[in-house]
Amino acid sequence: MQNVKKAGNIIKRDWDLYLLLLPGFIWYLMFAYKPMVGLRTAFYDYNIFRGFSGSEFVGLEHFISFIKGPDFFRTVTNTLMIAFWQIVICFPAPIVLAIAITEMKNKFVSKLTQTSTFLPYFISVVVVCGMVVNFLSPSTGIINMILVKLGMEPKYFMVMPQYFRGIYTTMVLWQTTGFNAIVYIAALVGIDPELYEAATVDGAGKWKRIWHITLPGILPTIITMFILNIGKIVKVGYEAILLLYKPSTYSTADVIATYAYRVGIENGNYGLATAVGLFEAVVALILVVAANKLSQRITENALW
């Protein structure tokens, strides 16, 4: 009873702060937690006109159908491969950019670099995908124009499976690197300047200062961002993939999320689509927990 009274006094004292939290709390309830009620669709042969009461309960049938189906290995492999290239290439890029920006002596060039790399993030993914398609067009695309000038044959990159992962990774790298670097720039600003001064007095060069002061100083931030990125590893920006891929590139481009979209929206199999989405979420949860445990064991830094 005393705990309830104490909590009531805290809320009464800081009511204005809790009022500021209220819109975000309501948003999470409406758009993050309330839709979870619909997860039971994965266990029904769901009919949108009959609802749950008129739909047959099938248990784990949709999960078994997906795992044993011909598309399982392809979608999981493509998801992990695209995610792998994003972790290997797109994750370190903001760290490198943040260090480069903070190490620049010319502040004008530093601000210009930060602004120019930051802006692409705010371009709609639809526009970015349209730019990619236009740049790679076999007739009017600038890339093929350059190839023709060099005496090569133009290529229709967007229908060739072997190029899709590279195209997608490059697009994500260009659009997100500058925005993601902001977190690391903020972490770099928090490092004590006296550490750099002491290292300079001791004769440490720029690379040694980066290796022994900068990177250890932002390591907790790197670990936190890495774990959060692992949580999104199975999503791999499926909206952009939907806009870029074609049936001819399914072999390397079709991921779990796009497969769920096609099954649910295009084919109307809402139970199977929900089961695929739930499978994806469970895999993401397992990866986050595993990454957090691994980080805690290796670096003694973790998200929780």
d(CA 299, CA 198): 25
Question: For the whole model, what pTM was predicted?
Answer: 0.84
* Complete domains list, the chain, with CATH: 71-123+160-298 (1.10.3720.10)
* Sequential pLDDT tens for the chain (304 residues): 667 677 777 778 888 888 888 998 999 888 888 888 888 899 999 888 888 888 889 989 999 999 998 889 999 999 989 988 988 999 999 999 999 999 888 889 999 999 999 999 999 999 999 999 999 998 888 999 999 988 888 899 999 999 999 999 999 999 999 999 999 999 998 888 888 888 888 888 888 888 989 999 998 888 888 888 887 777 777 789 989 988 899 999 999 989 998 888 878 889 999 999 888 888 888 888 887 787 777 777 666 7
